[in-house]
Chain A
Amino acid sequence: MSGPAVTAQTTEAPTLGGSPPLCRYALRLGDLGLILGQRLGEWVGHAPVLEEDLGLANVSLDLIGQARLLLTYAGEVEGRGRSEDDLAFLREQGEYLNPTLVEQPNGDFGETIVRQVLIDAFQLALYERLTSSADERIAAIAEKAVKETRYHLRYSSNWLVRLGDGTPESHARVQSSLERLWRYTAELFEEDDLDRDMAARGIAPRLADVHGAWSRSVEEILAEATLERPRDVPYSWFGKRGEHSEHLGYILTDMQYLQRAHPGARW
C-alpha cells in the first residue's frame, strides 16, 4: 500500500514526555502484548469450545510474558524506579503506547481471529528483524518472542483459512471483520520521530521493511482463505503515541481495578 496521506505529528503523553526514547519504544512493544493479552484473556471461559479456550489463553499468556520482559526493561531504562507492575497497572490511558488495533473488541470468534492474524503477522515480521537489534536486551527478548509468534500466526492463520474458505456464513463474517479492522493497520507502519530515531540507531528496523514482509504474509493467507484484501484508508490512528480509541479506557478499568483498589496487592 502507499503510505497514509495524513502525516504523523509528534505528541507525547505528558508524564512520559521526559522518558528516554528507548523507554518509550520498549513500552510500544510491551503495551501491544499487554493489551492484546488482556483482550484475549476475555475469552477464557467463553470460547466456542474447550480446546479453543485453552488455545487463546496460551497465546494470551505468551503475550503477557513478552510484555513483562519489555515493561521491566522500559522501567530500567526510564530510571525512575518503576517496576513492570507499576507500568502495567498504574499508568494513565494516554501513557499506553499500544497500537489501536489491539484494543479493538473481540467481537465473535472470527473477528478475534482476523485481529490476531493481522497483528501476529506484524509481530512476526517485526520480531524477526529485532533479533538483530543493536540493543542486546531487545534482541534477546525478540529471540524468545519470535518462536512464540510463529506459533501464534500458525494458529490464527489456520483458523482464518478455515473460516474464510468455510461456509458462506463464516466467509461473510470474517470478510466483514477484515473490512472493519483493516483501517487500524496503517498505524503499524506509519513511521514517526521515535520510529525513525530507533531505526537510525540500529535498535529497530525500518517500518517500510516490516510492512513489505507483513503484506506478503497477509496476502498469502488471505488468498488461501479466499478473502479480499480491503482498500487502505488514508487515515492513521495513533494509539502508539497515546491517542486511543474509546475502547482502551474500558480495558484499563478492568485491568487496573485491583491495583487501584488495593495498592500493592500480590498473589
Chain B
Amino acid sequence: MNAPTDPKGEAAAAVSREWPLYEVFIRARAGLDHKHVGSLHATDARMAIEHARDLYTRRQEGVSIWVVRSSEIAASDPQDADALFEPARDKIYRHPTFYDIPDEVKTL
C-alpha cells in the first residue's frame, strides 16, 4: 500500500471544519418527488452533486439529484413543537377518512 496515512485523522477533521455540509435529495423515478436521503461534505455545489452521485446512487437509486447547503435551510424550532403541531391533534375531521370510495377507484 502506498497511500499516505493520516493517523490522527487531521485531514478528515479539516474537511468537516472547512468543507460545508450539503443536504442531498434524490428523485427515484420520473414523476416522483425528490426525497431527502442524507448529507455530505463538499467544497461547492458541483462537487456535492458528484459526491452525491457516488454515495447515494450506486445502486440505481435515482435519476435526478438536488443538493442544498445545510446552512441555507430554515428549520422550525423543536421548542415550538407544541404550539405548532399540537393544535392539529384533535381535528381529525381534517383527514379525508369520511368519504365512501367507489369500488371502481383503484388507486386511492
A107 pairs with B2, CB closer than 8 A: yes
User: Which one, A42, A46, A51, A105, contacts B54 given CB within 8 A?
Assistant: A51
Write out the residue numbers on chain A whose beta carbons fall within 8 Å of the beta carbon of B42: 51
In the assembled complex, A65 has its CB within 8 A of some CB on chain B: no
- A105-131 Cβ-contact flags toward B at 8 Å (1 or 0): 111100000000000000000000000
A54 pairs with B54, CB closer than 8 A: yes
Known contacts A51-B54, A54-B55, A55-B54; A105/B12 CB under 8 A: no
A55 pairs with B51, CB closer than 8 A: yes
**Count of B interface residues, CB-CB < 8 Å:** 22
A158 pairs with B12, CB closer than 8 A: no
In the assembled complex, B43 has its CB within 8 A of some CB on chain A: yes
In the assembled complex, B28 has its CB within 8 A of some CB on chain A: no
Tell me the chain B residues, 8-31 only, with Cβ under 8 Å from chain A. 11-12, 15, 19
A42 pairs with B3, CB closer than 8 A: yes
Write out the residue numbers on chain A whose beta carbons fall within 8 Å of the beta carbon of B6: 48
A-B contact count (CB 8 A): 46
- B interface, by DSSP: helix, strand, loop or mixed? mixed
Known contacts A51-B54, A158-B50; A46/B41 CB under 8 A: no
Rounded to whole angstroms, the CA-CA distance of A92 and B39 in the bound complex is: 45
Rounded to whole angstroms, the CA-CA distance of A50 and B53 in the bound complex is: 14
**Which of B3, B4, B6, B11 has the most chain A CB within a 10 Å cutoff?**
B3
**Count of A interface residues, CB-CB < 8 Å:** 20
Rounded to whole angstroms, the CA-CA distance of A16 and B79 in the bound complex is: 73
In the assembled complex, B5 has its CB within 8 A of some CB on chain A: yes
Rounded to whole angstroms, the CA-CA distance of A155 and B49 in the bound complex is: 11
B68 to chain A, nearest CB (A): 17
In the assembled complex, A49 has its CB within 8 A of some CB on chain B: yes
In the assembled complex, A162 has its CB within 8 A of some CB on chain B: yes
In the assembled complex, A89 has its CB within 8 A of some CB on chain B: no
Write out the residue numbers on chain B whose beta carbons fall within 8 Å of the beta carbon of A47: 3
Known contacts A43-B3, A106-B3, A162-B43; A49/B11 CB under 8 A: yes
Binding site for A on B (CB under 8 A): 1-6, 11-12, 15, 19, 40-43, 46-47, 50-51, 53-55, 58
3 closest A-B pairs by beta carbon, nearest first, are A46-B3, A51-B51, A105-B2
